[in-house]
Amino acid sequence: MSPMAHTAPEPSATAPELIRNFSIIAHIDHGKSTLADRMLQLTGVVDQRQMRAQYLDRMDIERERGITIKSQAVRMPWEEDGVTYALNMIDTPGHVDFTYEVSRSLAACEGAVLLVDAAQGIEAQTLANLYLAMENELTIVPVLNKIDLPAAQPEKYAEELAKLIGCEPEDCLKVSGKTGMGVPELLAQIVKQVPAPVGDPNAPARAMIFDSVYDTYRGVVTYVRVIDGMLHPRERITLMSTKTQHELLEIGVSSPEPVPTKGLGVGEVGYLITGVKDVRQSKVGDTVTNYAKPATDALEGYREPLPMVFSGLFPIDGSDYGPLREALDKLKLSDAALVYEPESSVALGFGFRCGFLGLLHLEIVRERLEREFGLDLISTAPSVVYEVTLDDKSQVTVTNPSEFPGGKISEVREPIVRATMLAPSEYIGAIMELCQERRGSLLGMDYLSEDRVEMRYMLPLAEIVFDFFDQLKSRTKGYASLDYNPDGDQVANLVKVDILLQGEPVDAFSTIVHADKAYTYGVMMTGKLRKLIPRQQFEVPIQAAIGARIIARENISAIRKDVLAKCYGGDISRKRKLLERQKEGKKRMKMVGRVEVPQEAFIAALSSDDGSAGERKK
């Protein structure tokens, strides 16, 4: 066992040969953050007293849900054969919505620890993240985790893993992030296998921004990996894409608390503070250089993450519109992936159409808005982006189904994804059936081992972002895992289904579906609303329509009795109070034409119990 390092190499003065930069990548829940905990302890950067499980998951939401949402980089000293190295470890998220976080982290590293739960084996994000690491030409250190579990089958999965990355089963390290077993050996192997960073110390400084976070106390904190040259505090820097200049107010490393340093040299990972207030001014993927002695070529940036799912967010109390805007502006400061623009709905009033990376992202943003900013929100049914070409060749991009043009449409394109599913082979039939129902086409299938398969499908994004994962899990007894990547778009026979109350369309309920599913949707939604909308003094037809064609209809018959039969001396106070409450309740009603729809009916209808709003962790 290697001893804890006595003297840590000083940032800004550490030779690149002594630096190892690596990310921990894995499928969700395979134990990245727990393994990171052991590393923090072993290297002594977090002491026993401060230690708590998943130390780097600091956000309330991360802790409550037990998942990592943001990558975290930490500098740790580690002594091997009498030499003290500086290890920069990045713990990454495993959920598919946050894949872009992983790819940014990988760009700051030379190596990746590919962690596999020894009781689960390889899963979909194991593959996805492995491929990302290979694209970045990183050295892969294969590791089996959770070997303390009685159900662990390290031998079996070592074989799978070896086959996958083309090494020998013995090359797979076996650790337990829980007990710490095998972690020193893993650190030793990281030092040995992961190449030291290379760069030109004398060239003009170039550092890659791989994360940018807004902090209430410190303003925007920008995380960088230095490629060439050196950055110093107090010097002026230029951001190469925007050509903006800033003074470096502070420069340092996370260990894991921020520690200001005299600078950052070749291969080092750390943070910068320039006093900018908006993360958009310090964009992920941009190159930082020295103002006085600028580099000529910027580093290759990242693709900006594109929102995949859109939903309208509306305050339940109309007067919260302003506070909602302010809250979104604040969240946006540390969540560059969040996009939004004002929108108004006849049914729901003023709100914002927001774009998200996926449903988990949506859920998290919504939860943070409600919790951190005290807002009560309704979110409309999520939608993907459609490209509509009209007969006159003009194009319309539709993120809000109610804006889907009526008539004269020559073509509608919908986003598609390449999906990878891993499951025991006995579920092949079930998965094929599900994908067929969701308009998927099989791209290929491989056996990872005798009894585990990888199935690749092309699927419309709209078919998989909502309840697909729940269905996949339930049809495979929880054994299948899923990963997907956007892969362009395709023409499809899509229609907008409107829901009409007494002939008036309710914008919040419009949706775009494949023509074959329009009827099912119409029947489901009209049926649901019939149960949710209280009877009115007149009959209320509820219709589902494609254009002028009615495809489903329900009726709410007129209420005939709304009176207290008996009202004597002793009843009066009670009855007056009842009416006062009803009068209050009326204020919370939304009017659709003459129909009074309680707020709760909207919420219940939109938070469909068919799973479309509540995707669980993957």
Partner 1 sequence: MAGPPPDGDPAPADGSLPASAAIGSAGRAFGVYLHVPFCAVRCGYCDFNTYTAKELGGGASQAAYAGTAVQELAFAASVLSRAGVAERPVSTIFIGGGTPTLLPASDLARLIGGVRDNFGLKPGAEVTVEANPDSVTPESLAALAAGGVTRVSFGMQSQVRHVLAVLDRTHDPKRIPDVVKWARDVGMSVSLDLIYGTPGESLADWRSSLEAALACEPDHLSAYALVVEDGTKLAARVRRGEVIAPDDDDEADKYELADDLISAAGLAWYEVSNWARTPDDACQHNLAYWRGDDWWGVGPGAHSHVGGVRWWNVRHPSAYATRIDAGESPAQGREVLDGQARQLEEVLLRSRLRAGLPLKEAGLHGDPAVLLAGVLADGLVEPEPAAAGTVVLTRRGRLLADAVVRALLP
Ligand X SMILES: Nc1nc2c(ncn2[C@@H]2O[C@H](COP(=O)(O)OP(=O)(O)OP(=O)(O)O)[C@@H](O)[C@H]2O)c(=O)[nH]1
Q: Is 34 in the site for Mg ion (CB under 5 A)?
A: no
What CA–CA distance (Å, rounded) separates 80 from 9?
Answer: 13
Q: Is 563 in the site for partner 1 (CB under 8 A)?
A: yes
CA 476 to chain centre: 24
Question: Under rule CB under 8 A, which residues in 81-100 are in contact with partner 1?
Answer: none
Smallest CA-to-CA distance from 75 within 221, 233, 256, 211 is with: 256
Q: Is 33 in the site for Mg ion (CB under 5 A)?
A: yes
What CA–CA distance (Å, rounded) separates 91 from 121?
Answer: 20
The separation between the first and the last C-alpha atoms of the chain, rounded to the nearest angstrom, is 36
Q: Is 31 in the site for ligand X (CB under 6 A)?
A: yes
Q: Is 565 in the site for partner 1 (CB under 8 A)?
A: yes
Q: Is 173 in the site for ligand X (CB under 6 A)?
A: no
For residue 591, give the DSSP letter: E
Sign of CA dihedral 350, 356, 360, 366: negative
Question: Under rule CB under 6 A, which residues in 388-427 are in contact with ligand X?
Answer: none
Sign of CA dihedral 161, 166, 169, 173: negative
| Helix residue spans in 476-589 (DSSP H) | 515-532, 572-587
CB 613 within 8 A of CB 603: no
Choose between 146 and 590: whose C-beta lies nearer to ligand X. 146
- Pick from 549, 561, 587, 609 the residue near partner 1 by CB under 8 A: 561
Choose between 288 and 360: whose C-beta lies nearer to ligand X. 360
- Pick from 577, 588, 616, 617 the residue near partner 1 by CB under 8 A: 577
Q: Is 580 in the site for partner 1 (CB under 8 A)?
A: yes
Applying CB under 6 A, the span of 176-184, 338-346, 405-413, 608-616 interacting with ligand X comes to 176-184
CB 388 within 8 A of CB 398: yes
Query: Minimum Å distance from CB 591 to partner 1?
Result: 12
CB 205 within 8 A of CB 226: yes
Q: Is 68 in the site for ligand X (CB under 6 A)?
A: yes
Applying CB under 5 A, the span of 60-68, 188-196, 254-262, 603-611 interacting with Mg ion comes to 60-68
Q: Is 290 in the site for ligand X (CB under 6 A)?
A: no
Q: Is 572 in the site for partner 1 (CB under 8 A)?
A: yes
What CA–CA distance (Å, rounded) separates 503 from 500?
Answer: 5
Map residues 300-339 to x or -, x wherever contact with partner 1 holds by CB under 8 A: ----------------------------------------
Q: Is 311 in the site for ligand X (CB under 6 A)?
A: no
- Pick from 156, 178, 456, 473 the residue near ligand X by CB under 6 A: 178
Applying CB under 5 A, the span of 33-41, 237-245, 383-391, 395-403 interacting with Mg ion comes to 33-41
Which tokens sit at 394? 């003009």
Applying CB under 6 A, the span of 175-183, 344-352, 474-482, 569-577 interacting with ligand X comes to 175-183
Choose between 69 and 339: whose C-beta lies nearer to ligand X. 69
Query: Minimum Å distance from CB 596 to partner 1?
Result: 10
Which tokens sit at 407? 């008539």
31: partner contacted, choices partner 1, ligand X, Mg ion, none (Cβ within 5-8 A by kind): ligand X
Sign of CA dihedral 430, 434, 439, 442: negative
Q: Is 451 in the site for partner 1 (CB under 8 A)?
A: no
Choose between 68 and 261: whose C-beta lies nearer to Mg ion. 68
Q: Is 68 in the site for Mg ion (CB under 5 A)?
A: yes
Which tokens sit at 163? 């086959």
Choose between 143 and 462: whose C-beta lies nearer to ligand X. 143
- Pick from 582, 607, 616, 617 the residue near partner 1 by CB under 8 A: 582
Half-sphere exposure of 125 (CA within 13 A, CB side): 23
What CA–CA distance (Å, rounded) separates 75 from 427?
Answer: 43
Q: Where are the beta strands (DSSP E) in 473-615?
A: 481-491, 494-501, 504-505, 511-514, 540-546, 549-556, 589-592, 595-598
What CA–CA distance (Å, rounded) separates 427 from 555?
Answer: 42
What CA–CA distance (Å, rounded) separates 615 from 234?
Answer: 46
Which distant-in-sequence residues (6+ apart) come within 8 Å of 64 by Cβ? none
Q: Is 54 in the site for ligand X (CB under 6 A)?
A: yes
What CA–CA distance (Å, rounded) separates 160 from 393?
Answer: 51
Choose between 163 and 575: whose C-beta lies nearer to partner 1. 575
Binding site for Mg ion (CB under 5 A): 32-33, 68
Binding site for partner 1 (CB under 8 A): 537-538, 557, 559-577, 579-580, 582-583, 586
Binding site for ligand X (CB under 6 A): 26, 28-34, 54, 66-68, 93-94, 145-146, 148-149, 176-178
